[in-house]
Structure 1
Amino acid sequence: MRAGKMHADETDHDVPLVRRLIAAQFPQWSDLPVEPFDSSGTDNAIYRLGADMSVRLPRRPGSTTQIAKDLHWLPKLAPLLPFPIPVPLAAGEPAEDYPLPWSVHRWLDGENPAPGHLTRPALLAEDLAAFITAFRRIDLPGAPPAYRGGPLEKLDLQTRTAIHDLGASIDPMAATAAWEAALNAPGWTSPPVWTHADLMPGNLLVTDGRLTAVIDFSTAGRGDPAADLMIAWNLLPATVREDFREAVKADDATWSRARGRALSIALIALPYYKATNPAFAANARHVIQEVLTDHQHAGDA
């Protein structure tokens, strides 16, 4: 894998490329400045276009399906949610020097929150619960399945392999116990609901400690609502976790599945991104610690 890239099959991209793409396909914006934006996102490279827009270049071929999904679903979802979400403005075509489709979106202001540095965690937890609850209530026909909306059993082999590969860098016995507790929780048997399915700090924008926008809906669709509760461990401190759980009305089984999914994602991501995406890897370490501590306390209660 070449330095500066997250994936072995990642495409090349830089400011001159973005300028060429804009000039060729959207000349009305060709005079606007283009600047790279430092993002921990794993699917798209982000460039600012002027003050009010962003250019999203899929990092690899497997990430291109999001463009059509965004164009179809985001305008339908936006008026039904209590916080702003991305507005797609244009879809770019593959070009000679960039082989993938790409897109232009309206820019959303705010900054990514960081675990341990939340200025108003209780209010942020309320905002997140309001977003999740509103999303669950949406009833749009033809919804796709959520990328992370299925049973945890599908992640069992990957998760156990990650525990083995991480070795002494984690507590493998504690990680295995927490994972097996989640696997043993009853599954979701009610009708699937709309979930974002990737509520991580990098997909949230905050201003003055409050939620101002939710971005990146590539994993969104109908599935197990536990997928959206991972935010309880990848961002929220333990001091507000129970209030968040009450606000989203999570029963014991759903809470356990959510905790297990958060753990699984972190365990799998840590070895993959530790050298190429330090922010993502740091959050994975944080999640593992929070989940194992939380699981131990639940067992001691």
Structure 2
Amino acid sequence: MRMHDDQVDIDVADVRRAVVSVRPKCADAEVRPVSSGGTVVALFRVGQDLAARFPLVPDPGEARRAELSAEQTQVCRVAPRVSLTVPEPVAVCEPVRGYGGLAETDDWVRHSIRRSAHPVDPAAVTRAWEETLGAARLAGRRSPSTVT
């Protein structure tokens, strides 16, 4: 089902072309779609280590590039301040034949769904999210030169 009027179909070949254009060593990596309930991006797993996020509505514009850059900066600022595992951004994929927008790759952990035989402590998860949100707010108020 389409969520957006200008949504495009994104296939494995498009993802491979885009990822390999910025990470040639991924040429032989398996690329497979990841089932998701998301309504904004299509997720793909690239090899064992990467996730690729392709917006369903491609946008090659400078505003999208700035948004990706800001998101990557925030991730790098927040990661050291939280107990949750936060992946490192890997690359921004430029438009390629078959997909006309910018996309991004990052460590797979960001998109993995952790299943455990051990019970999850809801209070611990809540504390971790509060810590993450607090760190994100703090990082957003500081300039890069003042973030330690």
Scaled by the length of structure 2, the TM-score of the pair is 0.75
- Higher alpha-carbon deviation: 90-99 or 54-63: 54-63
For structure 2, the 5+ residue unaligned runs are: 143-148
RMSD value, Cα:
2.8
Aligned to 2:129: 131
SS in 1 for 2:129: helix
Deviation at 1:64, TM superposition (A): 4.1
Aligned to 1:278: none
Say which of 26, 31, 34 aligns to 2:28. 31
Structure 1 residues 141 and 21 mapped into 2: Cα distance closer, same or farther (>3 Å)?
closer
The structure with the greater share of residues assigned to helix is 1
Q: Which amino acid aligns with 1:135?
A: L
- How far apart are the structure 2 equivalents of 1:86 and 1:77? 11
Q: Which amino acid aligns with 1:73?
A: Q
Give the 4+ runs in structure 1 shifted more than 3 A: 61-66
Q: Which amino acid aligns with 1:38?
A: S
SS in 1 for 2:139: coil
Any conservation in 2 of the 1:70–1:88 contact (CA below 8 Å)?
Answer: no
- How far apart are the structure 1 equivalents of 2:18 and 2:75? 24
- Higher alpha-carbon deviation: 69-78 or 31-40: 69-78
Higher relative contact order (CA 8 A, sep 6+): 2
Say which of 4, 25, 48 aligns to 2:45. 48
Aligned to 2:101: 100
Scaled by the length of structure 1, the TM-score of the pair is 0.40
**Residue 19 of structure 2 corresponds to residue 12 of structure 1:** no
Structure 1 residues 96 and 56 mapped into 2: Cα distance closer, same or farther (>3 Å)?
same
- How far apart are the structure 2 equivalents of 1:81 and 1:60? 32
- How far apart are the structure 1 equivalents of 2:43 and 2:53? 5
- Higher alpha-carbon deviation: 16-25 or 72-81: 16-25
Any conservation in 1 of the 2:88–2:106 contact (CA below 8 Å)?
Answer: yes
Structure 1 residues 11 and 130 mapped into 2: Cα distance closer, same or farther (>3 Å)?
same
Instruction: Number of aligned residue pairs: give it.
Output: 135
Deviation at 1:59, TM superposition (A): 1.1
- How far apart are the structure 2 equivalents of 1:136 and 1:23? 36
- How far apart are the structure 2 equivalents of 1:110 and 1:104? 14
Structure 1 residues 110 and 104 mapped into 2: Cα distance closer, same or farther (>3 Å)?
closer
Q: Which amino acid aligns with 2:17?
A: R
**1:249-288 superposed matches below 5 A:** none
For structure 1, the 5+ residue unaligned runs are: 114-118, 144-301
SS in 1 for 2:42: strand
- How far apart are the structure 1 equivalents of 2:39 and 2:70? 17
Structure 1 residues 8 and 141 mapped into 2: Cα distance closer, same or farther (>3 Å)?
closer
Deviations 1:115-174 (A, max 9, x none): xxxx735x133222233145325522547xxxxxxxxxxxxxxxxxxxxxxxxxxxxxxx
Deviation at 1:8, TM superposition (A): 1.6
- How far apart are the structure 2 equivalents of 1:103 and 1:37? 15
Structure 1 residues 48 and 78 mapped into 2: Cα distance closer, same or farther (>3 Å)?
same
Structure 1 residues 139 and 22 mapped into 2: Cα distance closer, same or farther (>3 Å)?
closer
Higher gyration radius (CA) = 1
Identity %, equivalent residues:
25
